[in-house]
Structure 1
């Protein structure tokens, strides 16, 4: 099992319940493809470095999970089409 970190930037105009649903969907996708979520870190609302889709702020979430090498590809395919997600990035963590 490899360790991965997934950064998800979510639209700031969403209500609390909708943002929670987006994070739950991401966790469900990871578990659906054989991964195990170890931590979800909510960084809250932050100012974007540059304007994206006429938005200047967004909510940042960092999801740490363990899975085989196929899971991140499948998760990224699904996150790409999620409308509330502005940006995402999945990277493999260094072995400790």
Structure 2
């Protein structure tokens, strides 16, 4: 069980690092693409709602992923402990 906790911690931290790198890429490339689209008038055509949604949703993706990873890291040990406790109550088959 200790190895599962260490493995979960390593996977969680590496996933958070990957999400933070994704945030940096989205911040640099996404902002450049949005400004380029506005420069060429895409925000006035039929794709204006798509550009607006992309501009607003980009900033929610990284926090949502980080929150999900954090909740997974916190909730998994609780779920495993409950499963082990249930197995102890039932006993071996």
User: Above 0.5 in TM-score?
Assistant: no
> TM-score scaled by structure 2?
0.32
Higher relative contact order (CA 8 A, sep 6+): 1
> TM-score scaled by structure 1?
0.31
Q: Which has the larger radius of gyration?
A: 2
- Structure richer in strand, relative to its length: 1
- Structure richer in helix, relative to its length: 2
